[in-house]
Structure 1
């Protein structure tokens, strides 16, 4: 059945609250859980459902995304027919103006033989059976089916996400935003299912009207004219839309039950492999409830933390509740708690970095965190 479906990943995502991690990469390629990237989840969900053709509409500074995706081999999308297509390596930030991107690449839609489209973003992390959702859409005869989840409105993970106001017939009446009130709300998971011809029609109408530069906004703002239905998802869901939500999601993954659901429940989550040696744990090392990727050298203490590949932890170092990206070096006697280190960061000997669970300390890519007071000849000097 899913040979009749096209996956469209629209990466026009607001990265303003993730700026310290997205300066050199799009949100979709931010590392998570050590060796994965955020885009791996929705891409794997599509592939596990049997989708053979996936188009990715990328944004600015997509080198890391391109390097990660390659020709799509880890997701079995390196095909002669269909496969992985990547569009728009533009220097123009088009967070809102995705309609123009679709219009400029409209030939992709016309040439593709699929009749249905699953349109999604990358920021929603879940493991969902999209085949069941697609079957529901076809039986319902909706113009558009939006996948949603019922959450508490004061859950800060979902702030500013779209809220669906639904009637008793599972029809969307209007769409708002989560503002943090203490009540249950139905949030859109940014996954929309529709016919390809309907998608093309919406693109042209958006341009003709001149009032909509976002395809999603065009659909949501025409609820009275478009038959928009819903499909409920009841599993684990997280939205990566801020440093706080990224940190919380990463800590959630250390929970065994959440990890099992997120990575295995409706199929495996795939990612680019990296041939590196196993991690070396020295006699003095101590590791508790942590994820350690390949190629690391561990001499210190690590608790409730996630380390990407090729991280070096020196003697007497204490790391708690922290996320360390690849190729970081942590000097002897350093102490890190509630910290996120981007790639290639060096923390000098004896340096302390202490953040808060709601406001973790973030060190940007390639920074050197110096200890201003170093012991020399029996005294301390600046």
Structure 2
């Protein structure tokens, strides 16, 4: 398996509905579940499936993504042969919603020429799921497919494609003659000459494409049945390791149905919420149905309900912020909210 399947992650996608959370980062680097980034899911799935060569194709705002992944050491991808590769797009104004852009791949065609893996799995970067790709490869080979598109059980495409690396190279090289610009163009063309198959995935999977979707998917993690479908002991979701002290709970604090990462200081009430590393919550503060990202500081006697705080946000004492499940109140990274800005 190590030399049969190549991992290709398209990290160019930008969703306008996530703008408030993507001003300083790419979608792939969006924090999720307190201590992960969204790309951790597909990357971990690839590594858990025995893939030892993964190419990531980002476009813009990818500094935080590169900082998170580094050399790939946490995923055992810091290797002398194969490993983790970054290929930023030279086309700044290209459409970032076409998974597997052949123009982007063409700029790095030598990578595919040198690859020894017979097959390639091409995936988006923003799906929350836990999948073993090995059964799909076996099914693909036995079915005699040219291209296998992975579908979710509801029938929709998951924007993941399995293809022979040699055929992928051919599609890249002939893109100007065929007019095919990405994998989606081929599978949606009724006049193609390829044997295209659909593989149905029956597990839990959500594609993050809006603030509402991001918020609801995050809140659903607080349900034990959904958590168990994503975080499987035999197929762990791997992330960047950070050595931080345990969270400290001050006398009088209260936590119910919440995920609290390391390094926090909790002095108030936290219910039905996800709190990332290094967050400080003051005495008398009430946090309900919220996503609080890394190193936020919420001072005493604040009230937050259905709020998303991006990293390094400070909320002054006595501030009240309220959103809804369909329209959570979003505070951008590094900003400050004062008591006079109550809503």
Query: Smaller-chain TM-score range?
Result: over 0.9
Residue 238, structure 1, aligned to residue 238, structure 2: no
Q: How far did 1:216 drift?
A: 2.5
Secondary structure at 1:79 match in 2: coil
Residue 6, structure 1, aligned to residue 6, structure 2: yes
Q: Matched residues in 1 for 2:62 and 2:214: separation?
A: 20
Q: Matched residues in 1 for 2:41 and 2:125: separation?
A: 8
Show structure 2 runs of 5+ residues with no match.
Answer: none
Residue 336, structure 1, aligned to residue 295, structure 2: no
Do the aligned partners of residues 372 and 91 (structure 1) sit closer, same or farther apart at CA in structure 2, a change above 3 Å counting? farther
Q: Matched residues in 1 for 2:79 and 2:260: separation?
A: 33
Residue 249, structure 1, aligned to residue 252, structure 2: no
Q: What does residue 337 of structure 2 align with?
A: 369
Q: How far did 1:237 drift?
A: 1.0
CA distances 1:352-375 after superposition (whole Å, capped 9, x unpaired): 11100011011000110111189x
CA distances 1:99-129 after superposition (whole Å, capped 9, x unpaired): 2110010000000111100000111111112
Q: Which moved more, 1:30-39 or 1:81-90?
A: 81-90
Secondary structure at 1:333 match in 2: coil
Q: What does residue 182 of structure 1 align with?
A: none
Do the aligned partners of residues 293 and 133 (structure 1) sit closer, same or farther apart at CA in structure 2, a change above 3 Å counting? same
Q: How far did 1:90 drift?
A: 4.5
Q: Which moved more, 1:6-15 or 1:85-94?
A: 85-94
Q: Name the larger-Rg structure.
A: 1
Are the aligned partners of 2:90 and 2:104 in contact in 1 as well (CA < 8 Å)? no
CA distances 1:125-156 after superposition (whole Å, capped 9, x unpaired): 111121111110111110001111122xxxxx
Secondary structure at 2:163 match in 1: strand
Q: What does residue 121 of structure 1 align with?
A: 124
Are the aligned partners of 1:61 and 1:91 in contact in 2 as well (CA < 8 Å)? no
Show structure 1 runs of 5+ residues with no match.
Answer: 152-185, 375-382
Q: Matched residues in 2 for 1:235 and 1:99: separation?
A: 29
Q: What does residue 79 of structure 2 align with?
A: 79
Secondary structure at 2:153 match in 1: strand
Residue from 185, 198, 201 that aligns with 2:170: 201
Q: What does residue 145 of structure 2 align with?
A: 142
Are the aligned partners of 2:258 and 2:271 in contact in 1 as well (CA < 8 Å)? yes
Task: Give the total of aligned pairs.
Answer: 339
Q: What does residue 315 of structure 2 align with?
A: 347
Q: What does residue 108 of structure 2 align with?
A: 105
Q: How far did 1:197 drift?
A: 0.8
Are the aligned partners of 2:3 and 2:117 in contact in 1 as well (CA < 8 Å)? yes
Q: Matched residues in 2 for 1:362 and 1:93: separation?
A: 27
Q: Which moved more, 1:34-43 or 1:123-132?
A: 123-132
Q: Matched residues in 1 for 2:156 and 2:53: separation?
A: 27
Q: Matched residues in 1 for 2:128 and 2:207: separation?
A: 6
1:47-196 equivalence runs, <5 A: 47-88=47-88, 90=90, 92-94=92-94, 95=96, 98-151=101-154, 186-196=155-165
Q: Matched residues in 1 for 2:305 and 2:235: separation?
A: 34
- TM-score, normalised to structure 1, is 0.86
Residue 356, structure 1, aligned to residue 324, structure 2: yes
Q: Matched residues in 2 for 1:192 and 1:201: separation?
A: 15
Secondary structure at 1:3 match in 2: coil
Q: How far did 1:12 drift?
A: 2.5
CA distances 1:75-114 after superposition (whole Å, capped 9, x unpaired): 1111111000111164714315722110010000000111
Q: What does residue 294 of structure 1 align with?
A: 262
Q: What does residue 40 of structure 1 align with?
A: 40
- TM-score, normalised to structure 2, is 0.95
Do the aligned partners of residues 91 and 332 (structure 1) sit closer, same or farther apart at CA in structure 2, a change above 3 Å counting? farther
